[in-house]
DNA sequence: ACATGATAGACAACCCGGTTAACTATATAG
DNA sequence: CTATATAGTTAACCGGGTTGTCTATCATGT
C-alpha cells in the first residue's frame, strides 16, 4: 500500500524547482535579480526575431491577453521593447532588449553548467538515459502543451 | 551552442504536467471533476489524523494564511471538514471527509497505474534508475522545499 | 470605392494560489 | 493576574491565468 505512485510526479516537480531555483539564485548574482521563473522560458519563446502577443500566446498555449500581460511586465522591467510593425500597424512586435538577451544567454549558460553538475553526479550515461526517457514520456512540442494555463498554475 | 540546457528543466516540468493532467482526467471520470491539481498533494499532507492551518502551512512550506485558504476551498467543495480541538479551542482541526479520502485513495491508485504504464514503456529497470537519479538530485523532504511559494507558481 | 469580416491589441472583471500586515481570541508561564 | 505566545481571520496586494467586450486596422469581394 502507501502508494509510492505519488513519489514520481513529486520528484519530477521537485527536480524542476531545484533547477529553476538554482538558476535564479545564480541569475540574481549575475545582475538579474528581478527576473521571474517563467521569464526565461518566455524570452526563449520570443526568440531573436521578436514576436507579437497573439503569436506568443499561440506558441506558449495561453490566451493573447495573458501573453500581452507577460510582455507588459517584461517591458516594464526592461527586458523587452515593443515597436509597431510598419507593414501592419495593428501589430506590435516585442523584441528582446540587450538586457533581455543578456539574461537569456546567461540562463542558457547557467542551465548548461547545472546540467554538467548533474552529469558529474549521475554520470553522463545515466543523465543521457534520463533525458531520453523523459523525452519518451512527454509530448514532442516543448512549449505547446494544450493544457490551459499549464504555465504558472499547478 | 543553442544550449540544450533548457531541455532538462522543461522536460521535467512537462513530465510532471503530463502525469498530473492524466491523473485529473481520470479523477474527473471517477467522480471528482472539481478537484484541482494541488488538492491531492494537500490532502496527502493533511493526512489521516487531520491537521491545523498552521501545521499544514509548516509542512507545505507556505504561510498559515495560504494554508487556511486552501483548507477553506477544500471545505467548500466537501473534501475536508473542520472541528475545534476540545483541548485548545483556538485550534481548528481539518480532517478529510469520506469524499476526500475517496479522492485521495483514487489518486494513489491512478498514480500507481500511471507509474505502471511508465514501467511498461521504459522497462522497470530504467524507471527505477530514473526515480533513483531524481532522488539523488532533489532534497530529502518531498514537501518542505524552502522555496517560498513553490507550490502554484513557476 | 466601399461594405464586410477577420485580426491585433487593450481593458475590465474575475479566479487561483501565493504574500505581508493587522487584528481577535485563547492558552500558558511567571 | 498580567504578559507573552499562538491559532485563526480578514484585508490588501501580486503574479499568472481566464473570458468577454471593445476599437483600430487590414484584407477581401462586389
According to the model, what pLDDT value does residue B148 have? 63
Using CB atoms, pick whichever of A11, A114, A153 lies closest to residue B5: A114
Interface of B with A in 70-99 (CB under 8 A): none
Q: Which of A33-42, A67-76, B78-87 has the lowest mean pLDDT?
A: A33-42
Residue A1 confidence (pLDDT) above 50:
no
Q: Who wins on pLDDT, A5 or A83?
A: A83
According to the model, what pLDDT value does residue A33 have? 93
- Of the candidate CATH numbers 1.10.8.60, 3.40.50.300, 1.10.443.10, 1.10.10.10, the domain formed by A7-140 belongs to 1.10.10.10
Q: Who wins on pLDDT, A153 or B48?
A: B48
Residue A154 confidence (pLDDT) above 60:
no
Chain C positions with any atom < 7 A from a protein CB: 7-13, 16-22, 25-28
Query: Residue B95 forms beta bridges with which residues?
Result: B81
The DSSP annotation for B93-123 comes to EEEE-HHHHHHHHHHHHHHHHHHHHHHHHH-
According to the model, what pLDDT value does residue B150 have? 62
Using CB atoms, pick whichever of B5, B19, B37 lies closest to residue A108: B5
Span B29-80, pLDDT tens digits: 999 999 998 899 999 999 999 999 999 999 999 999 999 999 999 999 999 9
Average of per-residue pLDDT values in chain A = 91
According to the model, what pLDDT value does residue A2 have? 47
Contacts (Cβ under 8 Å, ≥6 apart) of A115: A127, B4, B5, B8
Give the mean pLDDT of A10-29.
92
Provide ipTM, 2 decimals: 0.89
Using CB atoms, pick whichever of B40, B113, B136 lies closest to residue A121: B136
Distance, CA of B149 to chain centre: 14
**Residues in chain A within 8 Å Cβ distance of B4:** 112, 115
- Does residue A7 contact residue B131 with C-beta atoms inside 8 Å? yes
According to the model, what pLDDT value does residue B141 have? 78
Contacts (Cβ under 8 Å, ≥6 apart) of A105: none
Q: Smallest CA–CA separation between A70 and chain B, in Å? A: 13
CB pairs under 8 A between A and B: 169
B130–A127: do the CB atoms touch at under 8 Å? no
Q: Who wins on pLDDT, A105 or B4?
A: A105
According to the model, what pLDDT value does residue B4 have? 72
Using CB atoms, pick whichever of A11, A126, A152 lies closest to residue B135: A11
Q: Which nucleotide is nearest to B54 (CA to C1')?
A: D7
Average of per-residue pLDDT values in chain B = 91
**Residues in chain B within 8 Å Cβ distance of A121:** 136-137
Interface of A with B in 101-140 (CB under 8 A): 107-115, 118, 121-122, 126-127, 129-131, 133-139
B78: left (phi over 0), alpha (psi -120 to 50) or beta: left
pLDDT band at A146 (very low <50, low <70, confident <90, very high): low
Q: Which of A12, A44, A141 to mutate to test the interface with B (most CBs of B within 10 A)?
A: A12
- Does residue A127 contact residue A119 with C-beta atoms inside 8 Å? yes
Taking the domains of chain B in order of start, what are their residue ranges?
A: 7-140
Task: Please name the residue that has the C-alpha cell 521571474.
Answer: A36
Rounded to whole angstroms, the distance from the CA of residue A145 to the C1' of nucleotide D21 is 28
- The cell for A44 is 526563449
According to the model, what pLDDT value does residue B143 have? 73
According to the model, what pLDDT value does residue A3 have? 61
Measure the CA–CA gap between A120 and A124, rounded to whole angstroms. 7
According to the model, what pLDDT value does residue B152 have? 58
Q: Which of A41, A113, A118, A137 to mutate to test the interface with B (most CBs of B within 10 A)?
A: A137
CB of A11 within 8 Å of a chain B CB? The answer is yes
Q: What 8-state DSSP symbol labels residue B87?
A: T
According to the model, what pLDDT value does residue B146 have? 65
Contacts (Cβ under 8 Å, ≥6 apart) of A153: B37, B152
Span B83-127, pLDDT tens digits: 999 999 999 999 999 999 999 999 999 999 999 999 999 999 999
Amino acid at each position: 500500500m502507501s502508494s509510492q505512485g505519488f513519489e514520481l510526479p513529486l520528484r519530477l516537480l521537485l527536480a524542476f524547482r531545484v533547477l529553476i531555483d538554482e538558476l535564479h539564485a545564480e541569475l540574481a548574482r549575475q545582475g538579474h535579480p528581478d527576473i521571474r521563473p517563467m521569464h526565461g522560458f518566455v524570452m526563449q519563446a520570443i526568440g531573436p526575431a521578436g514576436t507579437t502577443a497573439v503569436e506568443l500566446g499561440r506558441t506558449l498555449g495561453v490566451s493573447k491577453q495573458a501573453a500581452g500581460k507577460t510582455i507588459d511586465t517584461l517591458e516594464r522591467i526592461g527586458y523587452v521593447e515593443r515597436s509597431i510593425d510598419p507593414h501592419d500597424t495593428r501589430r506590435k512586435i516585442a523584441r528582446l532588449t540587450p538586457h533581455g538577451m543578456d539574461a537569456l544567454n546567461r540562463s542558457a549558460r547557467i542551465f548548461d553548467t547545472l546540467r554538467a553538475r548533474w552529469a558529474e553526479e549521475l554520470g553522463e550515461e545515466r543523465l543521457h538515459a534520463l533525458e531520453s526517457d523523459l523525452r519518451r514520456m512527454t509530448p514532442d512540442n516543448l512549449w505547446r502543451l494544450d493544457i490551459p494555463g499549464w504555465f504558472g498554475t499547478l
